[in-house]
Structure 1
Amino acid sequence: MKSRHVFILITLLVILDAFAINCSFAIVYFSGFFEVNHLSQPARFLITLNISYMIAALICRIYMFANVQNTELLYKKVMLTFVVQFFIFVLIAKQVLSGLSITLPLFYIFTSELLFFITIRLMIYISEKYYLKMDFFKKNIAIIGDHELGRRLEKFFLKNKLTVNFAGSFSDLNEVVMVDEKPVDNLRSSIKYAIENDLDEVYTTVFPKQSPALDQVLALAEQHCVRIRFVTSFIHYQRDQEAFSRANYRLSNYYDGIPILVNRKEPLTKLRNRIVKRCFDIVFSLAVILFVLSWLFPIIMILILIESRGNPIFSQLRSGRDNEPFYCFKFRSMRINADSNTQQATRNDPRVTKIGSFIRKSSIDELPQFFNVLFGQMSVVGPRPHMLKHTEEYRQIVDQYMVRQFLKPGITGQAQVNGFRGETKVPGQMEGRVKHDISYMENWNLLLDVKIIYKTITNALGGEDNAF
């Protein structure tokens, strides 16, 4: 199980360990323990030291995700890597460091290196004890179903404390309870528990054919931004792989050898894809801020202030990823009014100023959202964020509306470049927007983002009927 926080921890460990190795060499070298005739000799020593550690780290798999989330493993792996590095260094040194007296400097370097390694791991341990309390950085998950697979999965999650906050397991799914004189599947009650306790993911050993209410439960979960993951055995998956495919279940991952299936493809659940998209967002937003907003920002602000009083930057609470609200920035295109947080802009809207009309039609009003992108609240491409009021309204009447909230909102999106931009007068328009947003979520790749950005720019230059 991978998360960006563990990825950051691994990256930090790699950097600190590299610093420890080279700093140990520098301390010993400048302390005068080397007897050298030529500068190439200590250079060869340093290169050998680094290469031997890299080989040892690969052999011992010290930076694997599973090995950095457990304190005991953290120390065991570094000690094993240290020993392996020593023997590899000695083997290489016989070939490339002949004629150089290395016994004394080698002792001091490896002693210093070991002290550095232990200190770094101790710092990680202290940080981890604090980090484990920071539940808002981790996914809240639970398991539904009394099954051996569920118990195996529970052990796996308990080993990944830096990645997840395990809320517990729920069983007795085959029982039926009575609520308001109607039979209700306990699974629905468990999802209700998940919603009330802000769970992000629920893993279940139950499939729709075993639970008639599961389709309704899936819809209920998605409406509240709770992801459902289906747990099966490796043998079962291999035997019924075609049946799972027909039923629209897709293999998402293996946790401790257990296949985890999902009911829709989401490329951005993979860590490497999230890193690629985030790096693209940072580079692109910085380019726009430095090369466009740096000179355009003051011009637009002055023009807005000349025409109407008030803050030239309009910030509004909108629905973000997992339905978390955030302040979305725009150039103010309307006169100050009491309906700005509840009423969408309409064609020939009297609230829109003259400069506001221009910047809305040209999409310049959206440019401050590149700061939202830089802050990590938005992406360059994604579902457009809606006002909180509209999110609550449409989640009740548009099927799968909240599925779009699984992604970070975007400045532009697949729906917007395909004609679903601006005011939504009827639910059918929002349904079309949602279909495009879900299609984008299921088929994301970096090239798709580039195509949408290109189409956004060409549409803005050519003018759009729905931009008002």
Structure 2
Amino acid sequence: MIFKKHRFSNLLNPISYIIDLAIINLFGSYILTSFQNPLLFHCVISLAWVTISIISKFYTIYRHTRVTYILKLLMTQFSLFFLILFSFVGFFKQFDISRILLLKYFLIVTLIIFCSKFINYALIKKFRQVVKGNLRNVIVIGKNKKTDQLISVFKERTDYGYHFLNQFDVKDPQFDLNKIFEFITYNNVSEIYCSVSELKNQQISSIISFADNNLKLLKFIPDNKNIFSKKLKFEYYDYIPVLSLRDISLHNPFNAALKRAFDIIFSIVVILGILSWLTPIIALVIRLESKGPIFFRQLRNGIDNKEFYCYKFRSMGLDNGGDKFQTVKNDMRVTRVGKFIRRTSMDELPQFYNVFFGNMSVVGPRPHMLKLSLEYDTIVDKYMLRQLVKPGITGLAQVKGCRGEIETDSDIINRVKFDIFYVENWSLILDFKIIVQTVLKAIVGDEKAI
């Protein structure tokens, strides 16, 4: 079934935003008709709602979130919304509006969104429980009272949407991490839960390394063992405490929607404002120097290691082995026009079509061709963490000087370190900084561009 195969969770938050904004604006238009400037009211109230929801994390709800937590979110959201709503009248001197009508509007909107929130919450749980949709395969490593309680939660709370597959007893003489890793890969396990009290430090390190390199979500059932110095994310599944090793910002549906909206707007501006007139010029000079297609396409690895065609302006002659060998400095396959467009990064501009269609992002780890991805995965530990987000036209590694030919293992290792830092520390401000630095490098030229 399509529901079992594909996750749609990332669509829920943007849809919820749209529905809630529609509610507060439509009822505002219907009930509050005495505003001198209705457009100002709708703009302020919409901006206020979005800002409050970001601060309060109103739309950050997980499959294991409890009803009491949702009530807390609703109370926080509407308390702040109430203050801003009534402050609007005084701040913008909208004294013609009735306070009774304003209170009526607030109560109606509150009631409708309260109800829609819980109806949506109940329907999603029922969908997982009855239709068995959007399930995540999970395993548990360790056998003790806490792991048994967690497994009971997985089995009994089917509305959480977890499909428990197996439990591995560390004390079992047949216990073998390599066999467990094979089981995880073969059965498409999404999440691994470990009781660290039963595991040796070396085993924990092996599990972490496997999870990072295979894009599996790793979580721990906490005890008094000091396993990591970094900050861990603490959650409750029913009444069972669970620790998450890594919290990826772009896995937050709001952040993902924000980045996607930015990508669409930015790519449209570039496609209409630059590529619309620059493409015919570059096409002409490419064709004058060498026969063949204007664009070059190549299979590369994207988010979740999915393959996609990455587009560039052709910078080499035909039959150049571009799918087999990476470009090196002073590469004889690169044409004279190709050298110029590569030095100024203009050859990458067609990738804005990739961004528009959702294969890539403006900023992210640079995608590698399939052959190199397989090679680097064996060289660089945690290389696959790059695939947790969409690849980018430019990235943190590139603006930090890690671009061009990869001559030694240290070149790709340093590049991946920057990529992982970006994945774990994404922010829209960081994207802006990288874009500005990329534009500056394109203007002055980059010595490492080949």
Q: TM-score, normalised by structure 1?
A: 0.70
1:278 aligns with 2:268: no
CA distance in 2, matches of 1:197, 1:217: 17
CA distance in 2, matches of 1:428, 1:139: 40
Structure 2 equivalent of residue 222 of structure 1: 212
Query: Could you tell me which of 321, 326, 331 is aligned with 1:344?
Result: 326
1:285-434 matches, cutoff 5 A: 285-434=267-416
Counterpart AA for 1:229: K
CA distance in 1, matches of 2:116, 2:240: 22
Summarize the Cα distance change of 1:296–1:155 in structure 2 as closer, same or farther, 3 Å threshold: farther
CA distance in 1, matches of 2:423, 2:16: 28
The SS at the match of 1:199 is coil
| 8 Å CA contact retained: 2:23, 2:109 | no
CA distance in 2, matches of 1:314, 1:64: 49
1:57 aligns with 2:47: no
Pick which of 313-322 and 399-408 moved more.
399-408
1:93-242 matches, cutoff 5 A: 138=134, 140-145=136-141, 146=143, 147-155=147-155, 158-161=158-161, 166-178=162-174, 184-185=175-176, 187-206=177-196, 209=199, 212-232=202-222
The SS at the match of 2:402 is coil
| 8 Å CA contact retained: 1:2, 1:65 | no
Q: How far does residue 150 in structure 1 lie from its aligned partner after superposition?
A: 2.0
Q: How far does residue 445 in structure 1 lie from its aligned partner after superposition?
A: 1.2
CA distance in 2, matches of 1:211, 1:155: 29
Computing the radius of gyration from Cα coordinates, the structure with the larger value is 1
Summarize the Cα distance change of 1:348–1:64 in structure 2 as closer, same or farther, 3 Å threshold: farther
CA distance in 2, matches of 1:157, 1:444: 33
CA distance in 1, matches of 2:352, 2:303: 16
Query: Could you tell me which of 121, 124, 134 is aligned with 1:66?
Result: 121
Structure 2 equivalent of residue 7 of structure 1: 13
CA distance in 1, matches of 2:344, 2:351: 15
Structure 2 gaps, min length 5: 1-6, 32-98
CA distance in 1, matches of 2:156, 2:17: 23
Summarize the Cα distance change of 1:396–1:294 in structure 2 as closer, same or farther, 3 Å threshold: same
Q: How far does residue 142 in structure 1 lie from its aligned partner after superposition?
A: 0.7
CA distance in 1, matches of 2:234, 2:444: 41
| 8 Å CA contact retained: 1:195, 1:221 | no
CA distance in 2, matches of 1:8, 1:71: 21
Summarize the Cα distance change of 1:217–1:315 in structure 2 as closer, same or farther, 3 Å threshold: same
Over residues 76-100 of structure 1, what are the superposed CA-to-partner deviations in whole Å (9 max), with x where a residue is unaligned? xxxxxxxxxxxxxxxxxxxxxxxxx
| 8 Å CA contact retained: 2:24, 2:109 | no
Q: How far does residue 64 in structure 1 lie from its aligned partner after superposition?
A: 7.3
Q: How far does residue 16 in structure 1 lie from its aligned partner after superposition?
A: 9.0
CA distance in 2, matches of 1:339, 1:279: 36
Summarize the Cα distance change of 1:152–1:54 in structure 2 as closer, same or farther, 3 Å threshold: farther
Bigger relative contact order, structure 1 or 2, given CA contacts below 8 A and separation 6+?
2
| 8 Å CA contact retained: 2:150, 2:240 | no
Over residues 241-289 of structure 1, what are the superposed CA-to-partner deviations in whole Å (9 max), with x where a residue is unaligned? 9x4663x351154444544423344222322222222222222222211
Pick which of 253-262 and 277-286 moved more.
253-262
| 8 Å CA contact retained: 1:231, 1:261 | yes
CA distance in 1, matches of 2:409, 2:336: 30
Structure 1 equivalent of residue 250 of structure 2: 268
CA distance in 1, matches of 2:255, 2:239: 22
Over residues 207-251 of structure 1, what are the superposed CA-to-partner deviations in whole Å (9 max), with x where a residue is unaligned? 67457423112212322222212234xxx5xxx59x4663x3511
Counterpart AA for 1:330: K
CA distance in 1, matches of 2:246, 2:443: 36
Structure 1 gaps, min length 5: 26-43, 74-124, 179-183
CA distance in 1, matches of 2:169, 2:184: 15
Summarize the Cα distance change of 1:153–1:310 in structure 2 as closer, same or farther, 3 Å threshold: farther
CA distance in 2, matches of 1:367, 1:312: 13
CA distance in 2, matches of 1:191, 1:356: 45
Q: How far does residue 190 in structure 1 lie from its aligned partner after superposition?
A: 2.7
CA distance in 2, matches of 1:72, 1:265: 26
CA distance in 1, matches of 2:205, 2:280: 52
| 8 Å CA contact retained: 2:20, 2:113 | no
Summarize the Cα distance change of 1:169–1:292 in structure 2 as closer, same or farther, 3 Å threshold: same
CA distance in 2, matches of 1:290, 1:257: 53
Q: How far does residue 390 in structure 1 lie from its aligned partner after superposition?
A: 0.5
Q: How far does residue 153 in structure 1 lie from its aligned partner after superposition?
A: 4.4
Structure 1 equivalent of residue 71 of structure 2: none
Q: What is the percent sequence identity of the aligned residues?
A: 36
Over residues 94-119 of structure 1, what are the superposed CA-to-partner deviations in whole Å (9 max), with x where a residue is unaligned? xxxxxxxxxxxxxxxxxxxxxxxxxx
| 8 Å CA contact retained: 1:329, 1:366 | yes
Pick which of 299-308 and 319-328 moved more.
299-308
The SS at the match of 1:214 is helix
CA distance in 2, matches of 1:155, 1:61: 28
| 8 Å CA contact retained: 2:383, 2:416 | yes
CA distance in 2, matches of 1:211, 1:356: 51
CA distance in 2, matches of 1:377, 1:250: 31
Q: How far does residue 411 in structure 1 lie from its aligned partner after superposition?
A: 0.8
Aligned residues: 374
| 8 Å CA contact retained: 2:135, 2:163 | no
Q: How far does residue 196 in structure 1 lie from its aligned partner after superposition?
A: 1.9
Q: How far does residue 175 in structure 1 lie from its aligned partner after superposition?
A: 3.5
1:438 aligns with 2:428: no
Q: How far does residue 321 in structure 1 lie from its aligned partner after superposition?
A: 1.3
